[in-house]
């Protein structure tokens, strides 16, 4: 049976939550493979709106196994709070439908404190993190001093891990003018939260291997977007993990042969939260209109998103680096009513037109978008469920995007509602 990876192909906020939820109807297992609780996924089912930031989007569906893989960094207190919130909305969450990899690294309060202190210290040079400790937690993971889920099961091991961690962090905190970490309070807090986290702990790699051998369909869910990838994103204004499709295998403990289809989620225009380059950003009435019609505010942070025209250069690039098989184009309805639309088809860099975003930050800052204009449409695309429901100009817009990014449209989303989706190619088709 086919296994599918879902990744954002822009700077995040592309509508992954709805698409993963829609696809999860065809899946048996939904696995998160990277990121932390800085990812915001909104799922609308009927009159119910679910806002997730850590749990896999499939958790709101019954009869599915949701998995948090080792590639994720996990805030245990946020986990417990998010579970409680969803249970309050009538969602069943227990060890039968949620598993957390035993080798998942934890985000602790000291990580968030360090994250925020660093951002405050650099002022205008800040990266624009969510301040939730994601980056510092990944640093500790790579530095081999992280506390992992399995460590919560043994008090002696936990204390050794904490001491190693604090030897590093207390030195950093002194340099930033912060008080040393209260060791006793940290250990007490971890021991208190441990039973609630350990209730979901499992050897996820083994569970997924067995599921695959049994012919189960696995849906791999990424957070953030490809342009926030720590290697291939707009560095240093990126997240602290790999967000590309290749991370799906490492982030849950399966090999790359487990991936059969890569679905890139792409918004019909472009948005970005936080700092960093954005060649096609609009500072005019069109940009304001996109933001208002698209309700472009961060699910997690509430921050207003920067808006711009569709950037085919960037999406073509991310489709290549993630090996995207097909895209899911979302929020087409936000473009309803524009007389003229623009697509960025290249960049003018010091008088030369280039077809990719350069790696050097100074060159990125000098890139001027080269636009192609297309006719807009006045009829509504909201709620369309077939190509026949779309205005001719909207179809031409979608087809032109396919040509420019050199990748076909597999799904087309025309509203936040789960069923307002046009299926072109079923990613789960064998």
Catalytic residue ranges = 13, 41
- What phi, psi does 126 have (nearest 5°)? -60, 155
Inter-axis angle of helices 76-88 and 183-198, nearest 10:
40
d(CA 99, CA 96): 8
Q: How many CB atoms lie within 10 A of CB 177?
A: 8
Query: What element of type H or E holds 5?
Result: strand 4-8
d(CA 265, CA 5): 10
- What phi, psi does 245 have (nearest 5°)? -60, -30
Place of tokens 């960037």: 314
d(CA 128, CA 169): 22
- Contacts for 325 with CB less than 8 Å, ≥ 6 apart: 261, 262, 263, 407, 410, 427
Give the pair of three-digit tokens for residue 208.
Answer: 């997924």
Cα–Cα separations (whole angstroms), residue 70 to 25, 46, 150, 152, 205: 24, 33, 11, 15, 9
CB 204 within 8 A of CB 100: yes
Distance of CA 110 to the CA centre of its chain: 23
d(CA 222, CA 296): 20
Inter-axis angle of helices 392-405 and 312-321, nearest 10:
50
Instruction: List helix spans (H) across 215-334.
Output: 247-250, 285-293, 312-321
N-terminal to C-terminal alpha carbon distance within the chain: 6
Give the pair of three-digit tokens for residue 33.
Answer: 């493979």
CB 230 within 8 A of CB 16: no
User: What are the E-state strand segments in 190-304?
Assistant: 201-202, 218-225, 261-267, 270-272
Backbone conformation region of residue 116, classed left if phi is above 0, alpha if psi is from -120 to 50, else beta? alpha
Give the pair of three-digit tokens for residue 410.
Answer: 């597999």
């Amino acid at each position: 049976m086919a296994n599918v990876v879902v990744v954002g192909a822009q700077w995040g906020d592309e509508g992954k939550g709805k698409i993963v939820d829609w696809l999860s109807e065809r899946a048996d297992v939904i696995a998160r493979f990277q990121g932390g609780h800085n990812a915001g996924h909104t799922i609308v089912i009927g009159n119910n709106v679910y806002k997730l930031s850590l749990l896999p989007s499939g958790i709101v569906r019954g009869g599915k196994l949701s998995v948090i893989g080792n590639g994720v960094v996990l805030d245990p207190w946020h986990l417990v709070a998010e579970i409680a919130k969803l249970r309050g909305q009538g969602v069943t969450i227990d060890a039968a439908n949620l598993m957390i990899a035993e080798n998942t690294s934890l985000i602790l309060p000291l990580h968030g404190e360090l994250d925020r202190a660093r951002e405050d210290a650099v002022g205008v040079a800040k990266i624009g993190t969510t301040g939730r400790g994601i980056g510092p937690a990944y640093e500790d993971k790579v530095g081999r001093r992280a506390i992992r889920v399995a460590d919560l099961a043994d008090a002696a091991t936990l204390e050794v891990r904490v001491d190693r961690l604090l030897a590093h962090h207390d030195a950093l905190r002194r340099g930033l003018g912060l008080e040393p970490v209260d060791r006793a309070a940290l250990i007490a807090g971890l021991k208190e939260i441990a039973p609630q986290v350990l209730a979901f702990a499992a050897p996820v790699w083994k569970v997924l291997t067995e599921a695959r051998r049994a012919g189960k369909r696995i849906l791999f869910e990424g957070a953030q977007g490809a342009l926030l990838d720590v290697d291939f994103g707009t560095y240093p204004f990126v997240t602290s993990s790999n967000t590309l499709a290749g991370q799906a295998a490492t982030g849950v403990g399966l090999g790359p042969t487990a991936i059969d289809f890569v679905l890139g989620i792409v918004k019909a225009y472009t948005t970005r939260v936080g700092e960093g380059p954005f060649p096609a950003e609009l500072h005019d009435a069109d940009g304001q209109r996109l933001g208002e019609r698209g309700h472009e505010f961060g699910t997690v942070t509430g921050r207003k998103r920067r808006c711009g025209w569709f950037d085919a250069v960037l999406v073509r690039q991310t489709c290549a680096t993630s090996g995207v098989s097909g895209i899911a184009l979302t929020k087409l309805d936000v473009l309803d009513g524009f007389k003229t639309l623009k697509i960025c088809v290249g960049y003018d860099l010091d008088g030369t037109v280039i077809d990719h975003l350069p790696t050097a930050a100074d060159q990125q800052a000098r890139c001027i978008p080269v636009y192609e204009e297309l006719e807009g449409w006045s009829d509504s695309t909201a709620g369309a469920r077939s190509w026949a429901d779309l205005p001719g100009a909207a179809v031409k817009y979608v087809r032109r995007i396919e040509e420019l990014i050199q990748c076909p449209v597999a799904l087309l989303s025309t509203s936040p509602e789960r069923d307002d989706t046009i299926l072109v190619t079923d990613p789960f088709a064998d």
